[in-house]
């Protein structure tokens, strides 16, 4: 398969896949000639990638042309689309055109349709590398398990949970920490990474604004403030935290109000609340069980006080404490 499309926001996993394909295709002795790294955001480099992919490799091994930020499946100009479609069948079997993009391919484009047709015929491959949402616990577990499998590591089930709690969806940090844990397991003479090793080697607990919101909804203001302090110390802008929390709590308010009115269709609720993934509604229902809409309204009022204090120049930690404890 001479054409490969890799896309998604999990840059660490995508980079591992790119390096794996380079190792598989390109002879290191000829890499200076047979490996090209181009950027589709630079003028002319997407067209150059098409031209180089049609050039047979020199020496042993194959040729690989890597095009980062590929425009072919996202907002592709008409002239470039013509060149792309015309060149699909002209790439030799020992040449590989590797297209990478953080965005999902636009299925409406004729270039995307042409490439997907080639995928079905076996002449191309497509892989996605998407990070799970911060609220998607199952997706985060899959991320940990998939990354461990790629690194050929064994994890105890409890270690998977511990890594989810400690790292969440930070794929780059996950890969780094797993490699560190692997060295520890090897030196200790154990086959599988344990939860105890995770607790002892990974400092702190990863936190994000949505976890702060969860704590506020449950009434754990102390826990929320502790997590907020961690975010602020890590350099997270205070107003961005407020914006994230406001969006999260506003979504809860919509779900709570619509369910109070008798609406049960998750798709209808998601559309009204501006939530992209209807599956998230089921998670939100569990979080809201037994909690009236007034709880969310009160939290939104407190966040408004925090935002006002921040814009008046208050220190972030003081603004959150005064607003949330008031």
Q: How does pLDDT run across 58-93, given as a tens digit for each residue?
A: 999 999 999 999 999 988 889 999 999 998 888 998
* Summary mean pLDDT of the chain: 87
Q: How does pLDDT run across 105-116, given as a tens digit for each residue?
A: 999 999 999 999
User: From CA 9, how far away is CA 109, in angstroms rounded?
Assistant: 21
Identify the pLDDT of residue 186: 82
DSSP string, 64-103: EEEEET--TTSS--HHHHHHHHHHGGGS-TTEEEEEEESS
- Of the candidates 210, 134, 199, 198, the one whose C-alpha atom is nearest the C-alpha of residue 168 is 134
43: DSSP letter: T
CB 98 within 8 A of CB 1: no
User: From CA 144, how far away is CA 130, in angstroms rounded?
Assistant: 13
pTM as predicted: 0.62
- Of the candidates 146, 50, 144, 139, the one whose C-alpha atom is nearest the C-alpha of residue 96 is 50
Identify the pLDDT of residue 204: 46
Tell me the domains of the chain and their CATH numbers.
3-128 (3.40.50.300), 137-201 (1.10.8), 209-325 (1.20.272.10)
User: From CA 69, how far away is CA 9, in angstroms rounded?
Assistant: 12
What confidence category does residue 276 fall into, taking pLDDT thresholds of 50, 70 and 90?
low
CB 117 within 8 A of CB 40: no
Residue in the block written with tokens 């949970």? 161
Return the SS3 of 262: coil
User: From CA 250, how far away is CA 213, in angstroms rounded?
Assistant: 11
Identify the pLDDT of residue 26: 96
Identify the pLDDT of residue 24: 94
Q: How does pLDDT run across 210-251, given as a tens digit for each residue?
A: 788 888 998 899 889 988 988 888 777 888 889 888 988 988
What confidence category does residue 23 fall into, taking pLDDT thresholds of 50, 70 and 90?
very high
- Of the candidates 77, 150, 161, 162, the one whose C-alpha atom is nearest the C-alpha of residue 111 is 77
Beta bridge partners of 100: 6
Residue in the block written with tokens 């609220």? 135
User: From CA 105, how far away is CA 114, in angstroms rounded?
Assistant: 12
What confidence category does residue 206 fall into, taking pLDDT thresholds of 50, 70 and 90?
very low
Q: How does pLDDT run across 126-169, given as a tens digit for each residue?
A: 999 988 876 677 788 889 999 999 888 899 888 888 888 777 77
What confidence category does residue 205 fall into, taking pLDDT thresholds of 50, 70 and 90?
very low
Identify the pLDDT of residue 134: 63
User: From CA 224, how far away is CA 142, in angstroms rounded?
Assistant: 27
User: From CA 47, how far away is CA 41, in angstroms rounded?
Assistant: 11
User: From CA 45, how far away is CA 38, in angstroms rounded?
Assistant: 6
CA-derived radius of gyration, the chain: 24
What tokens appear for 86 in the block? 């015309």
Strand blocks (E) in the chain:
3-7, 35-39, 63-68, 95-101, 124-128, 154-155, 192-193
User: From CA 306, how far away is CA 241, in angstroms rounded?
Assistant: 11
CB 274 within 8 A of CB 289: no
- Measure Cα distances from 97 to 18, 182, 290 in Å: 11, 34, 54
């Amino acid at each position: 398969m001479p054409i490969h499309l890799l896309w998604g926001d999990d840059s660490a996993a995508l980079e591992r896949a790119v390096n794996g394909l380079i190792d598989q295709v390109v002879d290191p002795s000829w890499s200076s000639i047979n490996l090209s790294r181009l950027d589709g955001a630079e003028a002319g480099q997407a067209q150059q990638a098409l031209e180089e992919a049609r050039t047979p490799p020199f020496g042993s091994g194959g040729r690989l042309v890597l095009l980062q930020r590929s425009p072919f499946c996202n907002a592709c100009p008409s002239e470039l689309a013509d060149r792309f479609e015309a060149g699909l069948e002209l790439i030799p079997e020992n040449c590989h055109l590797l297209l990478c993009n953080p965005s999902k391919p636009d299925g409406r484009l004729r270039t995307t349709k042409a490439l997907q047709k080639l995928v079905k015929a076996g002449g191309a491959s497509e892989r996605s590398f998407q990070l799970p949402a911060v609220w998607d616990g199952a997706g985060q577990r899959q991320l940990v398990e998939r990354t461990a499998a790629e690194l050929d590591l064994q994890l105890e089930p409890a270690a998977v949970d511990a890594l989810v709690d400690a790292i969440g969806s930070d794929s780059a940090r996950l890969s780094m920490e797993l490699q560190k844990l692997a060295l520890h397991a090897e030196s200790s003479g154990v086959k599988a990474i344990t939860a105890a090793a995770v607790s002892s080697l990974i400092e702190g607990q990863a936190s994000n604004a949505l976890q702060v919101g969860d704590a506020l909804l449950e009434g754990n203001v102390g826990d929320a403030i502790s997590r907020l302090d961690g975010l602020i110390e890590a350099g997270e802008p205070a107003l961005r935290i407020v914006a994230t929390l406001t969006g999260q709590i506003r979504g809860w308010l919509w779900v709570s109000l619509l369910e109070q009115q008798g609406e049960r269709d998750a798709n209808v609720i998601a559309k009204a609340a501006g939530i992209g993934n209807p599956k998230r509604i089921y998670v939100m229902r569990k979080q809201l069980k037994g909690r009236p809409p007034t709880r969310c309204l009160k939290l939104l009022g407190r966040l408004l006080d925090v935002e006002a204090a921040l814009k008046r120049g208050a220190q972030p930690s003081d603004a959150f404490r005064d607003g949330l404890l008031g």
